[in-house]
Amino acid sequence: MPQDTLHHGDASHHLDRRSHLDKIHPLDKLWLCRSVCDEDIDRVAEEAGISRLLATILLGRGMSDPEGIKEFMDPRMDGLNDPFLFNGMDRATERIIKAVKANERIVIYGDYDVDGITSTALLYGFLSELGSNVEYYIPDRIEDGYGLSINALHRIRLAGSCLIITVDCGITAVDEVKYINENGMEIIITDHHECKEILPEAFEIISSGIPGSRYPFKELAGVGVAYKLACAIAAKMGLDTDCSNFLDLTALGTVADVVSLTGENRIIVKNGIDIIQSTRRPGLRALLDNCGLQGKPVTSWVISFVLAPRINAAGRVGKASRAVRLFTTADAQEALSIVLQLNEENRLRQETETGILRQAIEIVEREIDLKTEKVIVICGKGWHHGVIGIVASRITDRYYRPCILISCEEDGAAKGSGRSVQGFDLFRALGSCGHLLEKYGGHEMAAGLSLRAENIPAVRREINIYADEVMEERDLIPKITIDAVIKREDISLARVRELEKLAPFGAGNPSPVFEYDALTVAEARAVGESKHLKLKLEDGGSFIDAIGFNMGNLLEGVNNGSRVDVACSLDVNSWNSEERVQMNIKGIKQCSRIFEEESYFISLDECMRFWSLSEYGGPEAFNFCYRGVEALQDMLQTEKNTVIMVNSLPDAQCLVKFLINNETAIKKNRIICYTSVDCNNFTSNSNFILVNPDPRRLELSWFDNAAIYGSWIDEGYLRAVIEKGGEDKLRLVKSGETPEFNIEQIVPEREELAAVYQYLKAGASEGKAVGSFSRLAEKVAYCYNININYFKIKRCVEIFEELKLIKKDMRKDGGVAFTVIYSGKDKKRLEDSKLYRMLQSLKMRWQQV
């Protein structure tokens, strides 16, 4: 897809875009707005019986069929796939049923995270209900490590076990399965992680990720695969159950494992959350109650950030087997006791995590060159194995780079955990340096590994070589995907309630994010011990509250009166029995509309030296021909460098809109420049829109095609551009619509001049500098509620200087201060200013067109 780029010529040094808003967006997140056709929105909204906003969101996410949308909004259990579509499911169920009937000793071998714990509890509980001779084994994170281990299997063999069923692990355990086969046991592997080229020689492997898999849905969590196995066993035995009583555990593990909440996972989680809400499982009920969730809705967010961390704590700093016991016990007192232990372990986990995170940040800042290393690989002695995965996630969030944290032991052994960013497959990346690792496993976004400490430098080097081959700099820019641009009329409780139909939210189905532009900051403060940013935003007299979690550090850059664009989700905030819509801020930046206009007016000011106002002949004197932007289509579509020069902001906007609407046919970058094209940023095979070109620096030899488009404010300026560019090289195209200049945006009115003078006089009397001209325009506009911009504010100042009312002082930092020199003795008239008269003449001529 073509990309928009914004370049500036020499005028950019005047543009104080970041002088007071530079802290608003420290990571320069890339806002990506989904593109949807208006006609499709209307059709889907009508046929599916939903709002245009909801239709926009669904279309942007690839859903256009009304029947499919209705199924998505109301996911039913009969939409689940037949479990026997899994390769090997028929044979696996027969083997398990044989073991159940023969009273063979069965061991469920799980994992110590929430997915593994719930998988184990589900399959153990199900087989226990069948009267099986079943036990479970959760490996110890420190002693056993991830997945199957020979030491654990040796203990299981000595206990007389015949059949091992793995859940959420085992897909890469080639040597361990060989040990099982050689020692008279059999193993059925159920897993959802990435497999390697060589598969273990298990009795059967139940996974949709193996080569040749017929199972249509590839995104099940480990607990989802375990649930499917239970359903298949029940069907094979002719039991009158759909195993829906285990959907609470299945939903819990699915959300916690951050798999895509689409397809079958959406059905599982949507229906499972309903069961969690009214669960009779003593352990889950105790956990909910202890978290203060009595009578409150359980959402995917609650699972991810309230329940899952407590369950995970058992496997991180305690014994994960206790969490399995929590979900399988029938004793309410025992359940409460376990929950209290998990709370304490979660507190200890948080303390340990904070300490390691502090150390890790210090190492990154001291040792990692983020300009050359795309993947952060760092190590520390004795870092807790159960916490380094969380810390790796925090580092990834902070620096937006894949991160691998490694804990080194005294004997030279090392274990690590990694987290990735979108577009970088961490499992494959580890495979590129697999010869340096003893063991690794996981998937695209998260993985674990073990190695010798002496190999860490080589792993760091080789994984970054791999990253350089597969990643671009753009991949390391945090991204916010915008579902729709909203306006004031989209903000209502009814609309937010409708959006809740898209829940449950999570990976693959995130909560909708909206862009709301040109809001005015009416109030800004830090809350929650200054951690969070609380805003009151205004749009046309309507106010809406906004909260930016963990954005308290941005307070200094958000001034009352600032114009901002906000990326946000919409929530319902309840306070004192009153419900209001609240924005949950995901990103905030200077208003792009204001920035666009500011860039335009700054560059217009730069080229004003070429105007010939005294010889001005009127707009009709240089209308070339009356054709629309379509006349440029052949130039814009060709695989050559093209530059279109414009002098009107609406003309520039018209061109950009045309390119966006035709981006399927016009597969070129869109680059917007002001005053000149910077040779350092020149990109081939691109369409350049050059706004307010500076004739002195106009270099058309770089371009295959060049055109002048639209209306130009001044004939003298236009002729200077044509003479420098060469009339024989230029195509001249004029839009056939009304003149594209809003002259009121260029010529200051008497009332505006009075307001500017009053503001400058007050500031000068207090001895204050007013900042740059851009900042001055923003302050005056806010204080006097008038429409004034960089261009007009400079004209005001020039008129005042000509009349000897003020004296300006340009500071080295780009700011400006003013001194009032008018004594008040002799009367000053605006008409005494030549510039004022010329601007008024310009205004009259344009108004006559």
Q: What is the pLDDT of residue 176?
A: 96
- What share of the chain has pLDDT > 70, as a percent? 91
pLDDT category at 614 given cuts 50, 70, 90 is low
Q: Using alpha carbons, select from 308, 270, 272 the residue that is nearest to residue 288.
A: 308
Residue 816 lies in a domain: yes
- What share of the chain has pLDDT > 90, as a percent? 59
660 against 330, higher pLDDT: 330
772 against 529, higher pLDDT: 529
Q: Which two tokens stand for residue 94?
A: 């027969």
Strands 731-733 and 705-709, how do they pair? parallel
pLDDT at 723 over 50: yes
Mean local confidence (pLDDT), 581-604: 85
Residue 53 lies in a domain: no
Pair (547, 673) in one structural domain: no
pLDDT category at 6 given cuts 50, 70, 90 is very low
Pair (385, 453) in one structural domain: yes
Q: Which two tokens stand for residue 545?
A: 């509250």
Mean local confidence (pLDDT), 599-620: 73
Least confident stretch, 96-105, 203-212, 697-706: 697-706
Q: What is the pLDDT of residue 158?
A: 95
Looking at this protein, which amino acid is placed at residue 470? V
pLDDT at 12 over 70: no
Highest mean pLDDT among 147-161, 558-572, 766-780: 147-161
* CA dihedral over 59, 65, 66, 72, signed as positive or negative: negative
Pair (843, 771) in one structural domain: yes
Asked if 501 and 509 count as a contact pair (C-beta separation under 8 A), the reply is no
Asked if 446 and 426 count as a contact pair (C-beta separation under 8 A), the reply is yes
pLDDT at 7 over 80: no
Least confident stretch, 243-252, 281-290, 595-604, 743-752: 595-604
Asked if 255 and 261 count as a contact pair (C-beta separation under 8 A), the reply is yes
Pair (244, 375) in one structural domain: no
**pLDDT tens track for 280-317:** 899 999 999 999 998 889 999 999 999 999 998 887 87
Looking at this protein, which amino acid is placed at residue 734? K
CA atoms within 13 A on the CB side of 109: 33
Pair (645, 722) in one structural domain: yes
Q: What is the pLDDT of residue 11?
A: 37
91 against 731, higher pLDDT: 91
Q: Is 389 left (phi over 0), alpha (psi -120 to 50) or beta?
A: alpha
Cβ neighbours of 66 (radius 10 Å)? 18
Q: What is the pLDDT of residue 680?
A: 67
CA distance 617 to 422: 57
CA distance 776 to 543: 25
Residue 324 lies in a domain: no
CA atoms within 13 A on the CB side of 245: 12
Residue 458 lies in a domain: yes
pLDDT at 4 over 70: no
pLDDT at 275 over 80: yes
Q: Using alpha carbons, select from 656, 677, 511 the residue that is nearest to residue 584.
A: 511
User: Residue 528: which CATH number?
Assistant: 2.40.50.460
Pair (817, 714) in one structural domain: no
Which of 753-759's residues contact partners 24+ apart within 8 Å by CB, and which partners? 753/796, 753/799, 753/800, 753/830, 755/780, 755/783, 755/784, 755/786, 755/788, 756/780, 756/788, 756/793, 756/796, 756/797, 756/800, 757/796, 757/800, 757/805, 757/806, 759/783, 759/784
Q: What is the pLDDT of residue 42?
A: 93
Asked if 445 and 419 count as a contact pair (C-beta separation under 8 A), the reply is yes
HEC assignment per residue over 348-414? HHHHHHHHHHHHHHHHHHHHCCCCCCCCEEEEEECCCCCCHHHHHHHHHHHHCCCEEEEEECCCCEE
Residue 444 lies in a domain: yes
Pair (189, 252) in one structural domain: yes
pLDDT category at 160 given cuts 50, 70, 90 is very high
3-state secondary structure of 22: coil
pLDDT at 408 over 60: yes
Asked if 429 and 403 count as a contact pair (C-beta separation under 8 A), the reply is no
328 against 677, higher pLDDT: 328
Pair (133, 265) in one structural domain: yes
Asked if 480 and 565 count as a contact pair (C-beta separation under 8 A), the reply is no
Q: What is the pLDDT of residue 681?
A: 63
Asked if 80 and 267 count as a contact pair (C-beta separation under 8 A), the reply is yes
Domain count, the chain: 5
Q: What is the pLDDT of residue 628?
A: 61
Pair (90, 112) in one structural domain: yes
3-state secondary structure of 706: strand
Angle, helix 263-277 to helix 247-256, in steps of 10 degrees: 120
Residue ending a domain, among 739, 765, 794, is 739
Least confident stretch, 95-104, 596-605, 742-751, 814-823: 814-823
Residue 342 lies in a domain: no
3-state secondary structure of 559: coil
Which parts of 610-684 fold into alpha helices (H)?
A: 633-637, 649-661
User: Residue 772: which CATH number?
Assistant: 1.10.10.10
CA distance 503 to 273: 11
Q: What is the pLDDT of residue 301?
A: 94
pLDDT at 453 over 90: yes
Q: Using alpha carbons, select from 688, 691, 650, 653 the residue that is nearest to residue 669.
A: 688
Q: Which two tokens stand for residue 652?
A: 């520039």
pLDDT at 161 over 90: yes
Residue 663 lies in a domain: yes
3-state secondary structure of 174: helix
CA distance 581 to 546: 9
pLDDT at 214 over 70: yes
Highest mean pLDDT among 592-596, 609-613, 792-796: 792-796
CA distance 115 to 311: 10
CA distance 111 to 114: 8
Highest mean pLDDT among 92-106, 597-611, 742-756, 831-845: 92-106
pLDDT at 419 over 70: yes
Mean local confidence (pLDDT), 604-608: 89
Least confident stretch, 81-95, 305-319, 470-484, 627-641: 627-641
Least confident stretch, 248-257, 417-426, 610-619, 747-756: 610-619
In this structure, what are the phi and psi dihedrals at residue 533, rounded to the nearest 5 degrees? -105, 125
CA distance 484 to 505: 17
pLDDT at 328 over 50: yes
pLDDT at 20 over 50: no
CA distance 549 to 570: 14
Asked if 620 and 605 count as a contact pair (C-beta separation under 8 A), the reply is no
Pair (243, 98) in one structural domain: yes
3-state secondary structure of 484: strand
Mean local confidence (pLDDT), 531-560: 89
Q: Which two tokens stand for residue 214?
A: 């017929």
Pair (200, 151) in one structural domain: yes
Pair (404, 506) in one structural domain: no
Residue 131 lies in a domain: yes
Q: Which two tokens stand for residue 215?
A: 């199972």
Residue ending a domain, among 739, 755, 773, is 739
Q: What is the pLDDT of residue 27?
A: 43
pLDDT at 119 over 90: yes
**pLDDT tens track for 77-94:** 999 999 999 999 999 999
Mean local confidence (pLDDT), 469-494: 90
pLDDT category at 787 given cuts 50, 70, 90 is confident
Centroid of chain to Cα 74:
27
Mean local confidence (pLDDT), 207-228: 96
Residue 671 buriedness (CB in 10 A; 0-12 / 13-18 / 19+): buried
Mean pLDDT score of the chain = 87
The partner residues of 565 in beta bridges, in order of sequence, read: 589
pLDDT at 573 over 50: yes
Residue 643 buriedness (CB in 10 A; 0-12 / 13-18 / 19+): buried
pLDDT category at 737 given cuts 50, 70, 90 is low
3-state secondary structure of 709: strand
Report whether the peptide linkage leading into residue 504 is cis, meaning its omega lies within 30 degrees of zero.
yes
Q: What is the pLDDT of residue 769?
A: 63
Which string of DSSP letters, residue by residue, matches 564-614? Answer: EEEEEEEEEEEETTEEEEEEEEEEEEE-HHHHHHHHHHHHHHHGGGG--GG
257 against 631, higher pLDDT: 257
Containing structural domain, residue 146: 79-270
CA distance 626 to 736: 5
Question: Which residues, other chains included, contact 411 with Cβ-Cβ below 8 Å and sequence gap of 6+?
Answer: none
Q: What is the pLDDT of residue 543?
A: 93
pLDDT at 3 over 50: no
Q: What is the pLDDT of residue 849?
A: 62
Q: What is the pLDDT of residue 314?
A: 85
Strands 642-646 and 686-691, how do they pair? parallel
Residue ending a domain, among 422, 449, 472, is 472
Looking at this protein, which amino acid is placed at residue 785? N
